[in-house]
Structure 1
Amino acid sequence: MTRLSVTLYGIPNCDTVKKARAWLAAREVEVRFHDFRKHGVPTDRLARWIAAVGWERVLNRQGSTWRQLDAATWASVVDAPSAAALLARQPSAIKRPVVEWGRGEPAITVGFAADDWQRRLHP
């Protein structure tokens, strides 16, 4: 069986990212962490996430970054290309964490869901 490869994308001071990283560490899962603040948002990955789960799921409309944007910006986000453009400029508006669960072609999850993650670790 191929070893599970996990890449977690987020911001280190985000409470949900901290919780997710602690959960994975407690289960001794090796994680590659990609910090949006230090390394930016990989545009090829962003496109893959949007294709996999939909732009509405990747965009965090509940977060403070979204709420601080002006109404014109809110109105301009109407589809995958407009969401991708905003998220590339404002990585803090990405719902976190984004996780690529890989055994070959990675599966994508957005947000932290312990029950779902447990199933992914032990299919």
Structure 2
Amino acid sequence: MLTLYIIDTCDTCRKARKALEEKGIAFKTYDLRKDGLSAGLLEHILEGVALVDAVNKRSKTWRDLSQEEKDSLDTSARQLIIQHPTLLKRPLLEVGDKTFLVGYRDGDYDQLGG
């Protein structure tokens, strides 16, 4: 079964969930804020998504970080993401072992079938 990693208040996550439901695709959701983001789960995600692609530099959370935190991203990214799950790009759709679709735009899930 597919897993959709979301933050419930994210509009793009809602669109992704709706697209999967409309296609009749079975999936479970995992709310990164409510359900928590452990170091183990983050490592699991980063096995399928490059760290540079996982950090959402367009988020309010990113903009609110100090310049020092942004500059130390190479060494502290994992710790920052665990502290601030909204730094992780989302939604993340886990479609297979170590295979993730990052973000969502209309039509992204068309190839998944139903």
Shorter-chain TM-score above 0.5: yes
**2:20 matches 1:24:** yes
Q: Secondary structure of the residue that 1:108 maps to in structure 2? A: strand
**Gaps (5+ residues) in structure 1?**
none
Q: Which runs of 5+ in 2 are unaligned?
A: none
C-alpha RMSD of the superposition: 1.6
Q: Larger relative CO (CA 8 A, sep 6+): 1 or 2?
A: 2
Correspondence for 1:59: 55
C-alpha separation between the residues in 1 aligned to 2:39 and 2:110? 28
Q: TM-score, with normalisation over the residues of structure 2?
A: 0.89
Q: Is 2:109 aligned against 1:117?
A: yes
State the TM-score, normalized to the length of structure 1.
Answer: 0.83
1:34 deviates by 0.7
Aligned equivalents of 2:77, 2:21: Cα separation in 1: 32
Give the length in aligned residue pairs.
Answer: 113
Q: CA deviation at 1:116?
A: 4.0
Pick the aligned partner of 1:37 from 33, 43, 51: 33
In structure 1, C-alpha distance between the alignment counterparts of 2:93 and 2:37, rounded to whole Å: 13
1:24-75 CA-to-partner distances (Å, cap 9, x unmatched) read: 0101112211111211113223112223221011100011110011101101
The equivalent residue for 1:6 is: 2
Query: Corresponding residue for 1:48?
Result: 44
State percent identity of aligned pairs: 32
